């Protein structure tokens, strides 16, 4: 909520306070560009994955790498902590998702999910599910509780997936410039959102804090928001000239972080009061 992590091709991660715009800390240790980072629930740890094929676990306060997990055969595209920050789940272009144990000193992953036929572009976790989006055009949801793997075919390479806040739906952005909202249980299409441009880059999609709107970055320098139910374009936010690479929504407040062309911008209402 009150911190922001950026990672970039300068092989570092940076921790910011987005509300004040101050850089808090820099984390150095990756060998190549850092492709994704995530923080733990208690803000004590950071995990990151990069083009050096390694997943790193950082201690926030000391800035040191606590552990590095090597095992991916390709760039690590996405990393996520589970709810209790006991497991790091990382997806890579080697088409595997690997679950790393933070608790023990095991160098190899707990489990490798190698069902995908192509690179993993996005990984999200819920309390008992692992949601992966792959370039092979499938959204796979591994349900640990029921022991099932649901694979939904979208067709076009998936760039980003996310759960809705209520955990009932899955949002998937794909390279055919379409966002699709799928029912988690049945796989049925609940909504389709188009208008933006997403054909080459791995762009993020988000749901806002109340699940009322669906947002997605675009290659035309805008961030688009649609009404979730109606599917109508609600807002197109001109952010910059180039591709909007990443965006993240505040978990509870109407506040949006957008990363484009080496800068991160924070969007909020004038009356916004940070916690």
Partner 1 sequence: AVESSDSEEEDLVSYGSGLQPLQEGERIKKPVPLQEQTVKDAKGRYQRFHGAFTGGFSAGYFNTVGTKEGWTPSAFVSSRQKRADRTILGPEDFMDEEDLSEFGIAPKDITTTDDFASKAKDRIKEKARQIAGVVAPIPGTTAFDDLIGPSKITVGVELLRKMGWKEGQGIGPRVKRKPCRQKPDPTVKIYGCALPPGLSEDSEDEEDEYQPENVTFAPKDVMPVDLTPKDNVHGLGYKGLDPSQALFGVSGREHLNLFIGGSEETSKLLGDLRHSKGRKLGITGQAFGVGALEEEDDDIYATDTLSKYDTVLKDEEPGDGLYGWTAPKQYKSKKRPEREFKYVGKILDGFSLASKSSAPVKIYPPPSLPRNYRPVHYFRPVIIAGNENCYLQKALEESTGKLESDPAQQSRHALNAAQRREQLGETELKGPAPSILEYLSEKDRERLKEMKQACEQQVKAKIVSQQSPKDRFQPASPEDAAYKWRMLLGGQLANAGSSDFKPFAKNPEKQKRYENFVKSLKKGEKDTLERFLDPNMTEWERGREQEEFFRAAMFYRSSNSTLSSRFTRAKYEDDVDKVEVPRDQENDIDDKETAVKMKMFGKLTRDIFEWHPDKLLCKRFNVRDPYPDSSVVGLPKVKRDKYSVFNFLTMPEPTTSVTQATNEKIQESNSLNKPKKPSRWDVSDKEKEKKDYVSEFISLARSKADVHQQPPVPATEECGAGTSEPIPALVANEDKNQEEESGRPPMDLFKAIFVSSSDEKSSSSEEESDEEQQPTTSERESETTKQVDVPGSSSSNVQESVTATTDSGISSLPTSKQELDATEEFGPKLPPAFSSGRFCKHLDRKEKHRKIRERHKSKKERKRKKEKKKKHKKQKNKGKHKNKKPEKDSSSDTTDSSDSLSDMDTTGLSPEELLRR
Binding site for partner 1 (CB under 8 A): 82-84, 86-87, 99, 101, 103, 110-115, 117-118, 127-128, 135-138, 142-155, 157, 180, 182-183, 186-189, 192
> What is the signed CA dihedral for 137, 228, 83, 247, rounded to 10 degrees?
80
- Residue closer to partner 1 (CB basis): 59 or 115: 115
Closest to partner 1 by CB, 166 vs 188, is: 188
Q: Which is nearer to partner 1, 97 or 247 (CB)?
A: 97
Could you tell me which residues come within 8 angstroms of residue 214 by beta carbon, excluding any fewer than 6 positions away?
171, 179, 181, 191, 193, 205, 206, 207, 208, 225, 226, 227, 228
Nearer to partner 1, 148 or 210 (CB): 148
Taking the C-alpha atoms of 239, 163, 185 and 154 in order, what is their torsion angle to the nearest 10 degrees? 40
- Least distance (Å) between residue 180 CB and partner 1: 7
Output the smallest distance, CB 233 to partner 1, in A.
19
Tell me the closest approach of the beta carbon of residue 82 to partner 1, in angstroms.
Answer: 6
The structure tokens 């095991």 sit at 106
Query: For residue 250, which of 237, 266, 236 has the smallest C-alpha distance?
Result: 266
> How many residues are present in the chain?
275
Two tokens, residue 180: 């699709």
Residue with Cβ nearer partner 1 (67 or 180):
180
Alpha helices in 11-136 (DSSP H): none
**Least distance (Å) from partner 1 to the CB of residue 149?**
4
Query: Minimum Å distance from CB 150 to partner 1?
Result: 5
């Amino acid at each position: 909520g009150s911190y922001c992590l950026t990672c970039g091709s300068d092989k570092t991660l940076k921790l910011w306070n987005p509300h004040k715009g101050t850089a808090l800390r820099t984390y150095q240790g990756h060998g190549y560009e850092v492709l994704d980072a995530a923080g733990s629930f208690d803000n004590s740890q950071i995990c990151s994955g990069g083009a050096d094929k390694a997943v790193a676990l950082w201690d926030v306060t000391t800035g040191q790498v606590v552990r590095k997990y090597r095992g991916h055969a390709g760039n690590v595209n996405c990393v996520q902590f589970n709810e209790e920050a006991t497991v790091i789940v990382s997806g890579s272009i080697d088409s595997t998702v690997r679950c790393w144990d933070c608790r023990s000193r095991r160098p190899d992953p707990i489990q490798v999910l190698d069902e995908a036929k192509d690179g993993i572009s996005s990984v999200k976790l819920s309390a008992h599910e692992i949601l992966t989006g792959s370039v092979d055009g499938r959204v796979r949801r591994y349900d640990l509780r029921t022991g099932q793997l649901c694979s939904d075919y979208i067709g076009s390479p998936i760039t980003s997936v996310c759960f809705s806040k209520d955990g009932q739906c899955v949002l998937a952005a794909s390279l055919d410039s379409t966002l699709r909202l799928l029912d988690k249980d049945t796989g049925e299409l609940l909504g389709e959102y188009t208008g933006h441009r997403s054909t080459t880059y791995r762009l993020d999609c988000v749901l806002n804090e109340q699940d009322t709107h669906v947002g997605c970055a675009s290659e035309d320098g805008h961030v688009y928001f649609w009404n979730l139910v109606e599917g109508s374009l609600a807002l197109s936010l001109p952010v910059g000239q180039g591709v909007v690479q990443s965006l993240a929504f505040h978990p509870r407040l109407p506040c949006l972080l957008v990363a484009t062309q080496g800068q991160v911008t924070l969007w909020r209402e004038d009356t916004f009061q940070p916690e």
